[in-house]
Structure 1
Amino acid sequence: MASILDSVNQRTQLVGQNRLELLLFRLRGRQRYGINVFKVREVLQCPPLTALPHQSGVIRGVAHIRGQTISVIDLSAAIGGPAMTQTADSFIIITEYNRTVQAFLVAGVDRIVNLNWESVLPPPKGAGQGNYLTAVTELDKQLVEILDVEKILDEINPARTSVSAEVVRSLAPVQASKRKVLVADDSAVARKQVQRALEPLGLEIILAKDGLEALQCLKELAAQCQHDISEQMHLVISDIEMPEMDGYTLTAEVRADPKLRSLRVLLHTSLSGVFNQAMVNKVGADEFIAKFNPDELAASVNRYLSEAEV
């Protein structure tokens, strides 16, 4: 128990400091990629894979690991590159995203680095909408690309984004004047998923691509308010992993600002694990919801907005 608590304490020291740990890896060629360590369960030499009939072309098969059957995704093929030709000399990164476990087939794994989110930037504007990047950074004078894994997974197995009829019937009536909700997420796919899930609530949704953009939006709105900002902005829904400013730091900044601290903040993220609740408590978020369940998200947002009306 003591070792678990020590580990939690070590991880939560990063919270509010706008820092992250990246596992660096390669696909084909010299280009390096990064994935947040929090999403990684383990890294293994690629085991024998079992092919499945009618499987997606980017799924190389399944691996049987510690009693669990895990799909193995050829990450190079998934982003439009050539498929990996060898699996015996490759590695798999076992991850947990959006309440599911999957493995990514990669050519090699480099090391773990500790970075400040301020040094992690959005993709270049010229990259286009068809790219699979959410952010880039520079290490050892080389570009490191951070992939939009949510987009990759959604293309392989599209997530249900509409709210069920049962939950829609349970939602509170929409106010005559639209309620405003700020959604911050670096993934365009994730932003669209949240928008679709909140459609039955008839909200005015303002989108931000990262925590810094969201904070600037809130500060500008607060400067225009004569009274409490919560009269204008009713809820903030934020991802955690975002370039320039992460969701934990965004929440800490909101709580530290007298003009913003009354805002409700819901952290909505594909990150899972034992450390999240400690982190959420430390920065003062109101709730943590793992992606992506449209019924759960819509019900939670509806509950917060209903409480605000009382």
Structure 2
Amino acid sequence: MAEKGVLLESGTNELEIVEFNVANNRFGINVIKVREIINPVLVVFIPHTHPNIEGIMEIRGEILPVINMAKVLGFPDSNQPSQDKFIVTEFNKQKVVFHVHGVDKINRISWEQIEKPTNLYQNTENQIIGVVRKQEGMTLLLDFEKILVDINPATGINNDRLKHVQRKDRSKYRIVVAEDSAMLRKLLSDTLMEADFQFIDFFENGKDALDYLQHAVSENKVISEVVHLVITDIEMPVMDGLHLTKQIKQHPVLSQLPVIIFSSLITDDLRHKGETVGADAQVSKPEIGELITMIDKFL
């Protein structure tokens, strides 16, 4: 995938998505998460696993779990299984294969083109994080982190990951968090509060977070009295975390704020993107303990 030049310049507020279909419905996944797309191969059934786990398969010497996206989404199985595709992914420090019914194309879009779900169908149980409207129809962007957590909660953010975090008073610090996933906002809120952070402002995308920070500056407030540190995801509708970080670091006042990128996309191959826009640190989800340690470093 990398050979096709899909990794965009940092901070442009653009992404490329692999569009795939399940039961004639169109969905999308960030191409940065995709290692390769392959034709159907042998999947070995594993008894007594989660119903969404189809089995395991071997790819280049690695044994990887296969998730049946039709079951995840509540659709019937493919009526032409020989035409199905397997999307091999890597994120959250995990490699997972998603079984879909077909792969259409790669599209480059702006995060501004992605509409966030309305309150009618956005909640901690929903798997949709954004909607892309085009002439040929809508493409739904899915919360793949949530899909994994639903199968195995241990892969997500939880208090067990705080066992080795130093206990101390953090109640005076004010933190801004930009995170589009309702599930992850709830998990982050619970774990940050457990670590004794009391003043946390959550925003669903980078634009809302930036508007809040710029408004504070426009009212001639001392920024350190409003917020001490910013935590941001990368993948968010309207404005992504890389563009948010770039805007903060180019601002004459806000640039003093430490920015930590907390994302499933933090890998050795992609770390340079956060460095390019000036991020002070980058932590891979779901390592909340490492995130707390990094916050302490900058406060």
Report the TM-score when normalising by structure 2: 0.91
Deviation by residue 1:61-96 (Cα, 9 ceiling, x = unmatched) = 111111001111011211333344664431110111
Alpha-carbon distance in structure 2 between the residues aligned to 1:142 and 1:18: 23
Pairing partner for 1:157 from 123, 130, 152: 152
Deviates further, 38-47 or 140-149: 140-149
Q: Does residue 191 of the first structure (1) align with residue 188 of the second (2)?
A: no
Whether the aligned pair in 2 keeps the contact of 1:11 and 1:275 (CA below 8 Å) is no
Deviation by residue 1:89-138 (Cα, 9 ceiling, x = unmatched) = 31110111211110111000001111111111101333242431000112
Identical pairs, percent: 33
Alpha-carbon distance in structure 2 between the residues aligned to 1:59 and 1:239: 27
Alpha-carbon distance in structure 2 between the residues aligned to 1:133 and 1:220: 30
Tell me how far 1:277 sits from its aligned partner: 2.1
Counting matched residue pairs gives 294
Deviates further, 69-78 or 194-203: 194-203
Long gaps (5+) in structure 1:
306-310
Whether the aligned pair in 1 keeps the contact of 2:21 and 2:100 (CA below 8 Å) is yes
Whether the aligned pair in 2 keeps the contact of 1:240 and 1:247 (CA below 8 Å) is yes
Equivalent residue runs for 1:219-234 within 5 Å: 219-227=214-222, 229-234=223-228
Structure 2 CA distance for partners of 1:72 and 1:215, relative to 1, 3 Å = same
Structure 2 CA distance for partners of 1:7 and 1:299, relative to 1, 3 Å = farther
Alpha-carbon distance in structure 2 between the residues aligned to 1:225 and 1:36: 39
Structure 2 CA distance for partners of 1:44 and 1:151, relative to 1, 3 Å = same
What is residue 113 of structure 2 aligned with on the other side? 119
Alpha-carbon distance in structure 1 between the residues aligned to 2:284 and 2:162: 22
SS in 2 for 1:17: coil
Structure 2 CA distance for partners of 1:85 and 1:57, relative to 1, 3 Å = farther
What is residue 308 of structure 1 aligned with on the other side? none
Deviation by residue 1:44-71 (Cα, 9 ceiling, x = unmatched) = 0121100011111111111111100111
SS in 1 for 2:271: helix
The one-letter code of the counterpart of 1:109 is V
Alpha-carbon distance in structure 1 between the residues aligned to 2:247 and 2:290: 26
Tell me how far 1:282 sits from its aligned partner: 1.1
Deviates further, 32-41 or 151-160: 151-160
Pairing partner for 1:43 from 37, 40, 45: 37
What is residue 148 of structure 1 aligned with on the other side? 143
What is residue 102 of structure 1 aligned with on the other side? 96
Structure 2 CA distance for partners of 1:85 and 1:209, relative to 1, 3 Å = same
The one-letter code of the counterpart of 1:144 is T
Report the TM-score when normalising by structure 1: 0.88
Whether the aligned pair in 1 keeps the contact of 2:267 and 2:284 (CA below 8 Å) is no
What is residue 11 of structure 1 aligned with on the other side? 7
Tell me how far 1:221 sits from its aligned partner: 2.2
Alpha-carbon distance in structure 2 between the residues aligned to 1:199 and 1:301: 14
Whether the aligned pair in 2 keeps the contact of 1:12 and 1:278 (CA below 8 Å) is no
The one-letter code of the counterpart of 2:182 is A
Long gaps (5+) in structure 2:
none
What is residue 56 of structure 1 aligned with on the other side? 50
Tell me how far 1:150 sits from its aligned partner: 1.5
What is residue 22 of structure 2 aligned with on the other side? 27
SS in 1 for 2:88: strand
Deviation by residue 1:242-262 (Cα, 9 ceiling, x = unmatched) = 100000100111112112111
What is residue 172 of structure 2 aligned with on the other side? 178
